Structure 1
Amino acid sequence: MNDQQIRNGKIVRSAEPLNLEMPFEKLDGFITPTELFYVRMHYAIPKIDRTKWRLRVEGEVERAFELNFDELTKLASKRVAALLECAGNSRIFLEPKVSGVQWGLGAVGNANWTGVPLSILLDRAGVKQAAREVILEGADEGPAELAGGPHGKVCFARSIPLAKAREDALLAYKINDVDLPAEHGFPVRAIVPGWYAVASVKWLQRVIVIDRPFNGYYQTLDYAFWKRVHGNPELEPLRKMPIKSEIAQPMEGETVPVNSKVRVRGAAWTGEGEVAKVELTVDGGATWNETKLDEAKPNAWRLWEFDWQTPATAEKRILIARATDSKGRTQPAEHDPDRGAYMINHLLPINVEVR
C-alpha cells in the first residue's frame, strides 16, 4: 500500500469521516495495542473540554441528575477485557458489492477498558418500574440525510435493554490503562460486551431511561437487519455478535515455502457463550483440522494457531478457519442476504501460494 492509504500503521478506509482499520496480520496478542485499535466514525470528532463535560441521567427515573468527569471517576470502577467489532467488518468480501465502509478483516479489536458500571448510575437515579430500555446518546452529530435519513442533524444514539444495562454495560474512561484518545470517545464512552460496537456509543453525554422501544435513526433505519419471524421479515436492531473466526497469518496472496512448517494463526469470537473450537482447512474444505486454542475469557476473542506442513511441490492452496461456540453454533458457509451489509460472519477463504 502507498503512504496515502496508511495512517499511523492503520489502513485508511475513509478520510472524512475518519475510518481506520488495523491490518489484521498485525494481530500479535490477546490485547490490541491502542495505537492499532480500529477507528469508526460517522461524523467529525466532537471537541470536548473534560472540565466542562457533564453526563446527564434522566427519563423514567426517580432522581434525574448529572455529574462531571471527576465525580464519575471517583465512583467504584471495573477493568474488563472486551472485544469490539464493527457491524460491517469484512464487508469488502461481500458479492455483489454493497454500500458502506469497505472494511477488510481488521475492524475488530480486543482491549482492556476501565470505567464505572452503568448499574451504579441507574441505582443512584432510581429506575421506575415501567422502564424498559436505556438510550446512550453521544455528542457526535451530523446530517443523517447523507445516509438516506431525515433532514437536519441527529446525534448518534443507541439503546440497550434495561437488563443488559444492569448486567455488564460499562462507562469507560480508559483504554489499555490510558485515558481514552479523542478518536475512541474521550472523555467517556459506553462499552456493551458481546454486542456489536455500534452499541458502545462514544463521547457519551446522556443516559436516558425509557418505557418503550427506542426508534432512533441508528436503531431502526440504519444498523438493523431483516429477521424472519414465522417466515415474515421484520427489521431488528443489530445486537449480539455471531460466532466468527478470521485468519491473521498467512495473509491473502502470501507465498509460503514448500515442504515447511508454517504457523497459521488467527482469532475467533462470539457474543454469547464462548468459542468452543476452531477448525482449519488448508485444502479448500476437503479436510478439516482442529486448531490449538488459547484460554477462553468472557466477551473477548480467543486466539488460535495451527502448524501446517506445506506440500512438497508448488501449488495454490485455500485456507479457511471455521469456529463453533459453546451453544453449538458454527459459522455459515455463505452470507445471509437478510443481513444486508452487516453481521458478516460467513467463512472467509485466504488464498496462498506454495512455492
Structure 2
Amino acid sequence: MSRPTADSSSQYTPALIVRQASPPNLETPFYALDGRITPQPSHYVRSHFPVPPLDAQTWRLEVGGGVDSVLSLSLEELRAMPSHTLSATMECAGNGRVYLSPRMPGVQWDLGAVGTAEWTGVRLRDVLERAGIQDGALEVILEGADKGTLTDPGRTPGEIRYARSAPLAKAQDDVLLAYAMNGQPLTPDHGFPLRAVVPGWYGMAAVKWLSKLHVTDTPYQGFFQTIDYSYWQQRDGLSPQMIPMTTMQVKAQIARPAPHGSVTAESVFEIMGAAWTGEGEVTKVEVSTDGGEAWADAKFLDPAEPHIWRRWRFDWHTPKQPGRVTLMARATDSAGRTQTPGHDAGRGGYMVNFPLPITVYVKAQES
C-alpha cells in the first residue's frame, strides 16, 4: 500500500498566496509544511499599511515616556548590545477566518497565516534597563513607522501609526526586538530594520518597522488595542467587556492532505500537521477521520518546547469506498486547555481555534 510521507513537499519552496497585494498580506501554503522552522521566503506576511521606506543608516529607535533617560538608538548601537536568539511560532489572530460562517470582515486567511522562525535581536528589557523605568510604569507602547487610514473594522481619526502595548511584566520578560530572521537581516516585508517578537502572543503584538518605545503609567487605548484586535469576554459575573487580544489559543492544524485534496482508497496515508499554544506546551494531538465522532492520538515529530509548534503525524487507513471524508485535529496543552467545537462569537473574526473541518476525497484505486 502507498504511504505518502511527511517529507513529500521538501523538494521545492512554494510561492506565497496573495490575499492582498497592497499592503502585502501573503499566506503560507500550509500543505507544504516541512521542517520545524519556516524558511523566510515561505513565512506569512501581515501588513496593515504600506511598507515604510526606511534606511538603516538614518533610522532610530526612540525610547521615551516614563524613563529616566530618553534614548535614540541606531541599529548599530542595538547590534552592539548583548544579542539573543529564540525560536517562536507566530500566528495571525485572524488565521482560519475563512472557516467562519457567516463570512467575517478582514483578510480571508485560510490555514497559512502562521509560521515558526528563529529570531535574533536584543531583549526589550535590556533597552528599558538602559533607559531606566520610572516608578508607576504600567505598560510599554510599541509603535511602528507604518501609517495610514482605515475604515474597517472602524474608521481611524485620520492617519495613524500601527501601535500596540505590552504590560510591563511581559515587556521585562521575553519580548525580543529582532533585527534578524533565520540568521539573515529582516526583509522590508518582515519589518526591516527592527521588529518586536512577543513569544506566545498573536502576531498583531509583533510590531514591525519599530520606531518608538513609550513607557506609560496608564492603559494604552490605541486603535489596534481597542477598536481592532480586541474581543468580548465575561469576567467576575459582570456583563461582557472588551479586552485586548494577547495569548495564542491552543490549536492543531492539518497540513496534509490539503483541503479538498484526494487520497487513494484502501491505502495508508500519513496525515501531517502542527500544533501550538501560547502558554505552556502542547502535550497531545488527536485526529478524527469521521467528522469528530471518534478520535485517536497522533504521534509527535518534535519535542515539547514553549512557544514553538510541534509537528505531528497520524497513519490513516483510508476507507474502502470512494467518497467525501471530513478530517479534524485537536490539541491539548500542559495546562489542560483543549480545542472545543464551535467559534466563540465574542471573538468576532479572530482567535479561530475550534477543530477545523478539512474535507478530502477518497478516490478508487487505479486498476
Q: What is the CA–CA distance in structure 2 between the aligned matches of 1:159 and 1:319, rounded to whole Å?
A: 38
From 216, 226, 230, the equivalent of 2:232 is 226
Q: What is the CA–CA distance in structure 2 between the aligned matches of 1:81 and 1:124, rounded to whole Å?
A: 25
Q: 2:295 is matched with which residue? A: 288
Question: Does residue 94 of the first structure (1) align with residue 100 of the second (2)?
Answer: yes
The CA deviation at 1:285 is: 1.7
Residues 194, 240 of structure 1: 8 Å contact kept:
yes
Residues 145, 152 of structure 1: 8 Å contact kept:
no
Q: 2:5 is matched with which residue? A: none
Structure 1 counterpart of 2:329, which letter? A
Q: What is the CA–CA distance in structure 1 between the aligned matches of 2:238 and 2:44, rounded to whole Å?
A: 37
The CA deviation at 1:151 is: 2.8
- Consecutive unaligned residues in structure 2, runs of 5 or more: 1-12
- Consecutive unaligned residues in structure 1, runs of 5 or more: 1-6
From 161, 164, 181, the equivalent of 2:167 is 161
The CA deviation at 1:147 is: 4.5
Question: Does residue 186 of the first structure (1) align with residue 192 of the second (2)?
Answer: yes
Q: What is the CA–CA distance in structure 2 between the aligned matches of 1:11 and 1:46, rounded to whole Å?
A: 22
From 256, 261, 269, the equivalent of 2:263 is 256
Q: What is the CA–CA distance in structure 1 between the aligned matches of 2:327 and 2:73, rounded to whole Å?
A: 51
The CA deviation at 1:231 is: 4.2
Residues 145, 151 of structure 1: 8 Å contact kept:
no
Deviations 1:95-134 (A, max 9, x none): 0001100000000000000000011011111101100100
SS of residue paired to 2:120: strand
Bigger drift between 147-156 and 48-57 goes to 147-156
TM-score by length of 1: 0.96
1:8 to 1:248, Cα distance in 2 relative to 1, 3 A: closer
Q: What is the CA–CA distance in structure 1 between the aligned matches of 2:142 and 2:351, rounded to whole Å?
A: 21
Q: 2:9 is matched with which residue? A: none
The CA deviation at 1:146 is: 5.5
Question: Does residue 173 of the first structure (1) align with residue 179 of the second (2)?
Answer: yes
Residues 149, 221 of structure 1: 8 Å contact kept:
no
Q: 1:78 is matched with which residue? A: 84
SS of residue paired to 1:25: helix
1:145 to 1:319, Cα distance in 2 relative to 1, 3 A: closer
Structure 2 counterpart of 1:343, which letter? M
Q: 2:63 is matched with which residue? A: 57
Deviations 1:121-180 (A, max 9, x none): 111111011001000000000013464223311000000000101100000000000000
Deviations 1:171-201 (A, max 9, x none): 0000000000000000000000000010110
Residues 139, 155 of structure 1: 8 Å contact kept:
yes
1:142 to 1:348, Cα distance in 2 relative to 1, 3 A: same
Structure 2 counterpart of 1:257, which letter? T
SS of residue paired to 2:31: helix
1:317 to 1:145, Cα distance in 2 relative to 1, 3 A: closer
Question: Does residue 217 of the first structure (1) align with residue 215 of the second (2)?
Answer: no
From 305, 310, 324, the equivalent of 2:313 is 305
Deviations 1:185-227 (A, max 9, x none): 0000000000001011000000100001000111011110001
The CA deviation at 1:331 is: 0.5
Q: What is the CA–CA distance in structure 1 between the aligned matches of 2:149 and 2:298, rounded to whole Å?
A: 46
Question: RMSD across aligned C-alpha pairs, in angstroms?
Answer: 1.2
From 16, 30, 49, the equivalent of 1:24 is 30
Q: 1:243 is matched with which residue? A: 250
Q: What is the CA–CA distance in structure 2 between the aligned matches of 1:191 and 1:23, rounded to whole Å?
A: 22
Residues 153, 227 of structure 2: 8 Å contact kept:
no
Residues 14, 20 of structure 1: 8 Å contact kept:
yes
Residues 60, 211 of structure 2: 8 Å contact kept:
yes
Note the 1:130-141 alignment, pairs <5 A: 130-141=136-147
Structure 1 counterpart of 2:324, which letter? K
TM-score by length of 2: 0.93
Q: What is the CA–CA distance in structure 2 between the aligned matches of 1:37 and 1:127, rounded to whole Å?
A: 35
Question: Does residue 326 of the first structure (1) align with residue 334 of the second (2)?
Answer: yes
Deviations 1:39-80 (A, max 9, x none): 111111000000001001111111111110101001001110
Q: 1:273 is matched with which residue? A: 280
The CA deviation at 1:8 is: 7.3
- Percent identity between matched residues is 50
